Structure 1
Amino acid sequence: MAQFDVRQKLEILADAAKYDASCASSGAPRRTSRDGKGIGSTGPGMGICHAYAPDGRCISLLKILLTNSCIFDCHYCINRKSSNVRRARFTAQEVVELTLAFYKRNYVEGLFLSSGIIKSSDYTMEQIVEVARSLRQNHGFRGYVHLKTIPDADPDLVRQAGLYADRVSINVELPTIAGLARLAPDKSAPRIEGAMAGMKNAIIDTADAKKRYKSAPRFAPAGQSTQMIVGADAATDGDIIARASGLYGQFGLRRVYYSAFSPIPDASSVLPLQRPPLMREHRLYQSDWLMRFYDYRPDEVVAAADPATGMLPLDIDPKLAWALKFRERFPADINRAPRELLLRVPGLGTKAVAAVLAARRWRRLRLDDVARLTQSIAKVRPFIVTDDWRPTGMIDRLDLKSVAAPKAKQLELFG
């Protein structure tokens, strides 16, 4: 491995970290150093890697790898053992010093740390834990820390990561076991799921202890997350949605991240020659949102996909695709329909539905009232009935998709 100074290492290892999508800080408790104790906080600010919390807060993180050297040879990874890339490695102390220096310059509010596997999984995990331990114990750092853990490492080391990190993540890598075996032969689906189960149990046990004993330690208060690569194998959108739903239910994940496969230099011959459309990644995030916040069952989301290919449509969002497929459920009476049906109206978000339910307790709602709650009343109108509006015949129009899905609005969530 060539010798580089810290600046050169930062250039190499920050660039290598860009392939990891699971960099977020949602769910972290707010900490502050205004009491004069410790360094850092989890309040909003400017920085290098911008992650967004559900309430819209922008969190800036120093996002780097400990090293891009790796003893594994995963076909889809640019840092795999057989890849021809510049290799660099930080020491644990260098990462600590960088994090503190970047924070003191108001560049970041925290750290996202991942790594290739060097020497062994246990050795690498020890180095990752040492970074977080030193920040917390030696320097009183109270900023956000997200650690990418290694499922092959000793369970006690993985557990230690949860004692110092706000969030931990263990990547399942690929949606199917067959895909993982083919493209990441050094990794094991049972070991990955075993590590996720152990983390879930530790989070639950510590949360329970915290209720009974104030002195109980914090443990990954922002939970755990994972990431799946989309388009590197033959998994369909239906496969991915089913897998994500299972992960949420089985391991209590806070987030599943989807990362569109990107062709890499000197790529393995078993990989696709082209990346999937980025819109596919976007549609999967929308589907994930439907399951997490709109009460859709996985089979309902999959029902929006093409039954022949298992793929979601790219030209319209999955909520609209579902509504067009099940037109008999509409129009929904804004003044009488249950929350479940209102959440399925294209163009109505969760906040809009909550506002409708609150307002209709006191008065009958008209189309203008609904228009004030949505960004596109044209998208909503064919699917609702109000006191002064009834979409006579619109729900059966052959061109309803073009009426409800203006092209300029397709990158919005559902509003």
Structure 2
Amino acid sequence: MARMTIQDKLALLSDAAKYDASCASSGTSKRDSRDGKGLGSTTGSGICHAYAPDGRCISLLKILMTNYCIYDCAYCVNRVSSNVPRARFTVDEVVWLTTEFYRRNYIEGLFLSSGILKSSDYTMEQMVLIAETLRAQGFRGYIHLKTIPDASAELIERAGLAADRLSINIELPTDASVKAYAPEKDPVQIRGAMGKVRLTGEDYAETSYKGRKRGKFAPAGQSTQMIVGADDANDATVLGNASKLYGAYGLKRVYYSAFSPIPDASAVLPLVDPPLMREHRLYQADWLLRYYDFGLDEIVTRNGDGMLDLDVDPKMAWALANRDRFPVDVNRAEKAMLLRVPGFGTKIVDRILAARRNGAVGLEDIRRMGGRVKAARPFIVTKDHRPGHLLDADGLRARFVKPKQMELF
């Protein structure tokens, strides 16, 4: 068999990394480059691989260190029993690729994950060495390391000191599903590792009696990923687990990855179309729970089955089900109620609150502020608009259901 070139490895291991969704690089602080000796930056623009919440385009080299793996997780294309081509990068190869891609302005950071090679500690040490070598060579760009839950505490600490963000996959929505589809992984151990990351970060953030901090540990925090659709967990279970993870471990993001039948798929998994719209609705609901003060029981009440409405977004579904709470007078309502109006985001609400101090707000004012007036009109009163019978119309819901072929665009 011919020896693989670095280009061959890159093609194989970048493609293998596409199943990992948790690669946003928001929340990091810029590393000081005033001495003029640094390489890379966490800001700027480049090839779009991910989006930050502020809309900034983030370019990342997203690869696996290796797709060899000693585990046999049923939902993973790289499981030990999978008949797929295998490859492995050396530490020097990943360092070289990252540096060269940055020099050519292709990327501004690295997202590095890996299959488990030999042992968890061996694999984690190789990944940490990559990050540490890049930093030693002056690379100040963004680094996200996928952390292996049963790696030693020392390696996890080293990872957090070299990387901007760490992520540990919770894998599936319930412990029972993890045990059924990934019996070599322990949900309790996974959560324990997430707890170690949080506690270590808090330890480094504490100031000494001289007012100094020990250093920066994973300044962009930690994230996780759940696969959705491989088991029978409903949306209430998925979002309920996410809410617990946010609270217990201070996560920056929970990523929802729609399960898709993979090459050489295990027979224990369902043959289903990727639930892409379900994934999209979960992200929308996650946002409402974290930033709009919605309760879980308000969002997932469709037919009592614990599932989100796929035809309309979660905020619209709530508004349609709670028409007695509307219309809302945009010139009088409190912020909490304005945030529940379909078509109003947090920035739009802040603009409305600021604008109405100087006079009554109308529909065109809201349009100029960036509000989605078509979605909001049936639910609001402005200085020049009242919804009349529109709010009670039987066909109101149908106005907001998009054709199937357009629903993701």
Q: Which sits farther off after the overlay, 66-75 or 197-206?
A: 197-206
- 1:124-156 CA-to-partner distances (Å, cap 9, x unmatched) read 11111111111112x011010000000011122
2:292 paired residue among 291, 294, 316: 294
Cα distance change of structure 1 residues 2 and 82 upon mapping to structure 2, 3 Å threshold: farther
Query: Which secondary structure state, in structure 1, belongs to the residue aligned with residue 358 of structure 2?
Result: coil
- 1:58-112 CA-to-partner distances (Å, cap 9, x unmatched) read 1111111110000000000000000000111111111111111111111111111
- Taking structure 1 as the reference length, what is the TM-score of the superposition? 0.94
- 1:342-399 CA-to-partner distances (Å, cap 9, x unmatched) read 1110111111111111111221222332232345322111101122322122222111
Q: Which amino acid aligns with 1:37?
A: K
Alpha-carbon distance in structure 1 between the residues aligned to 2:339 and 2:208: 35
- 1:3-402 maps to which residues of 2 (within 5 A)? 3-31=3-31, 33=33, 35-47=35-47, 50-137=49-136, 139-209=137-207, 213-214=211-212, 216-303=214-301, 305-307=302-304, 309-402=305-398
Task: Check conservation: 1:283, 1:317, Cα contact below 8 A.
Answer: yes
- Segments of 5+ residues of structure 2 without an aligned counterpart are none
Q: Which amino acid aligns with 2:45?
A: G
Task: Check conservation: 1:342, 1:353, Cα contact below 8 A.
Answer: yes
Alpha-carbon distance in structure 1 between the residues aligned to 2:78 and 2:402: 41
- Taking structure 2 as the reference length, what is the TM-score of the superposition? 0.95
- Structure 1 residue 2 displacement after superposition: 7.4
Alpha-carbon distance in structure 1 between the residues aligned to 2:33 and 2:75: 41
Q: Which sits farther off after the overlay, 387-396 or 226-235?
A: 387-396
Cα distance change of structure 1 residues 283 and 211 upon mapping to structure 2, 3 Å threshold: farther
Alpha-carbon distance in structure 1 between the residues aligned to 2:209 and 2:282: 36
Task: Check conservation: 1:317, 1:410, Cα contact below 8 A.
Answer: no
Alpha-carbon distance in structure 2 between the residues aligned to 1:242 and 1:212: 42
Cα distance change of structure 1 residues 113 and 68 upon mapping to structure 2, 3 Å threshold: same
Alpha-carbon distance in structure 2 between the residues aligned to 1:386 and 1:335: 7
Alpha-carbon distance in structure 2 between the residues aligned to 1:34 and 1:405: 52
Q: Which amino acid aligns with 1:134?
A: T
Identical-residue share of aligned pairs (%): 60
Task: Check conservation: 2:311, 2:402, Cα contact below 8 A.
Answer: no
- Structure 1 residue 161 displacement after superposition: 0.6
Q: Which amino acid aligns with 2:343?
A: G
Alpha-carbon distance in structure 2 between the residues aligned to 1:8 and 1:34: 38
The count of residues paired between Structure 1 and Structure 2 equals 408
- Structure 1 residue 197 displacement after superposition: 0.6
Q: Which sits farther off after the overlay, 283-292 or 226-235?
A: 283-292
Alpha-carbon distance in structure 1 between the residues aligned to 2:73 and 2:161: 29
Query: Which secondary structure state, in structure 1, belongs to the residue aligned with residue 231 of structure 2?
Result: coil
Task: Check conservation: 2:261, 2:274, Cα contact below 8 A.
Answer: no
Alpha-carbon RMSD: 1.9
- Structure 1 residue 50 displacement after superposition: 1.3
Task: Check conservation: 2:348, 2:371, Cα contact below 8 A.
Answer: no
Alpha-carbon distance in structure 1 between the residues aligned to 2:322 and 2:9: 54
- Structure 1 residue 297 displacement after superposition: 2.3
Alpha-carbon distance in structure 2 between the residues aligned to 1:212 and 1:85: 55
- Structure 1 residue 330 displacement after superposition: 0.8
- 1:268-323 CA-to-partner distances (Å, cap 9, x unmatched) read 111110133311111111111112222222222223x341x322111111110011
Task: Check conservation: 1:380, 1:404, Cα contact below 8 A.
Answer: no
Cα distance change of structure 1 residues 409 and 263 upon mapping to structure 2, 3 Å threshold: closer
- Structure 1 residue 207 displacement after superposition: 1.6
Alpha-carbon distance in structure 1 between the residues aligned to 2:130 and 2:322: 52
- Segments of 5+ residues of structure 1 without an aligned counterpart are none
Task: Check conservation: 2:229, 2:258, Cα contact below 8 A.
Answer: yes
Alpha-carbon distance in structure 1 between the residues aligned to 2:380 and 2:402: 18
